Homo-oligomer: A and B are copies of this chain.
Amino acid sequence: MRSPAKHRRPKHTLGNAPGTIKYMGNREGDAQYISVTDYKENYINVQEFTSIEKVFTYRDTDTVSLIDIQGLNKEKEIEKLGKYFQINPLVLEDLVNTNQRPKVDEYEDYIFCVLKSVSLSASNKVITEHVAIILFKNSVLLFQEVENTVFDGVRRRISSEHGRIRYKECDYLYFALIDAIIDQYFVVLEDITDRIEYLEDQLYNHPSSGIVNEIQNIRKEIIDLRKNVLPVREISARLVNTEHKLIGDDTKLFLGDVHDHSVQIHETLEMLREMSMSLMEMYMSTVTIKMNEIMKVLTIMTSIFIPLTFITGIYGMNFHQIPGLQSEFGFYIVLGLMFFILILLLVYFKTKRWI
């Protein structure tokens, strides 16, 4: 029964030196999309590029520069970028490793974090995307596999002339990006909550065996979310308490708000997990109770008619001399006997509270 399943693209890099940049996702063929949103209080400039070298200049400009790189499969390009920005190869490795769990690493000149953004597809499936963000003094590098609507709100606030974000430094942009990802979690959790409540409702009103599959699907989604979402609590706790020079006290207050949310998400996930288990239990007990009722009907029907049928069998035997067969009232006496047995059995079942 061992699975002959063809392995998907291997998720590991056996034998590679640590720090080897090896893309792990499934979008090897995708083109890379590079853009920079450069802004200050009274200035904003959004540009797209096709070559990675063009963004190097933004590293040191004293504007806030959001350097957005979509497509992690161009290992060479990312290596060049890494060299210019002096990023540790271990960071570059994790950057393109779509299997990397969420985490934050503080280096002297930059802070690196990996997060998973989640969203709902048109068909309400949970879609998970790998996102890596690096905070430098004067720029923020944002790495994604594909374009993602999760940061639309941030971009809109940057575009708006009076958005608070325009008056703030890179650390606030860094916070805003993380905050946008975490806000999205609530949407997914809410959807799961709705589906659990809907199933609960179904269970009471139109129980069907399809519910088991639905519950199991939800449980799998929760398991998956836990993997991608729970480490965020550690990340936010760490950022709130960091003493890194790049994070200002002002921004820490906002990071505290993020931490607040990640704690709430953690608790909600655990609650949903317990609710899904309880739902499953509920369904199984419904099944068991129904089986009980079915068996009761079977037993009552059988217990009543089997002895009666036996009696008809006796008088159906072809013996030449069965007492009563010739009697005028024989038939009625036997019917009476059957009726008496029926009453006895009904009383018995009544005593047992089966009927």
Contacts and interface: CB of A to CB of B under 8 A. Distances in A.
A322 interface: yes
A347 interface: no
Interface of A is mostly: helix
Contacts of A316: 312-313, 316-318
Interface stretch (A35-43, A47-55, A65-73, A323-331): A323-331
Given A294-B295, A313-B312, A316-B317, A209 B280 contact: no
A153 B15 CA distance: 4
Interface stretch (A78-86, A138-146, A212-220): A212-220
A17 B298 contact: no
A12 interface: yes
Contacts of A1: 202, 210-211, 213-214
Interface residues of A, number: 125
Interface stretch (A25-33, A56-64, A300-308): A300-308
A77 B248 CA distance: 31
B289 A212 contact: yes
B190 A10 contact: yes
A109 interface: no
B310 A198 contact: no
Interface string A277-317: 01011111111111111111111011101111110111111
A303 B301 contact: yes
A45 to B, nearest CB: 21
A260 interface: yes
A244 interface: no
Contact of A310 (B153, B312, B324): B312
Nearest to A5: B198
Contacts of A241: none
B257 A18 contact: yes
Contacts of A153: 14-16
A336 interface: no
A226 B10 CA distance: 22
A3 B302 CA distance: 38
A227 B275 contact: no
Contact of A309 (B197, B257, B299, B313): B313
Contact of A302 (B306, B315, B320, B354): B306
Contacts of A312: 310, 313-314, 316-317
A156 B352 CA distance: 57
29 contacts: A2-B123, A2-B195, A3-B198, A7-B190, A14-B183, A15-B180, A18-B179, A94-B260, A101-B264, A209-B289, A212-B285, A212-B286, A220-B275, A227-B268, A280-B285, A283-B285, A284-B285, A285-B287, A287-B288, A287-B292, A290-B292, A293-B352, A297-B299, A299-B301, A302-B306, A305-B306, A313-B313, A317-B331, A320-B325
The 6 A-B pairs at the shortest CB distance, nearest first, are namely A15-B153, A312-B313, A3-B198, A315-B317, A298-B299, A319-B331
Given A1-B211, A14-B183, 17 more contacts: A5-B198, A10-B187, A11-B190, A14-B153, A14-B184, A216-B282, A219-B278, A220-B275, A227-B271, A283-B285, A288-B291, A290-B292, A291-B291, A305-B306, A305-B309, A308-B313, A310-B312
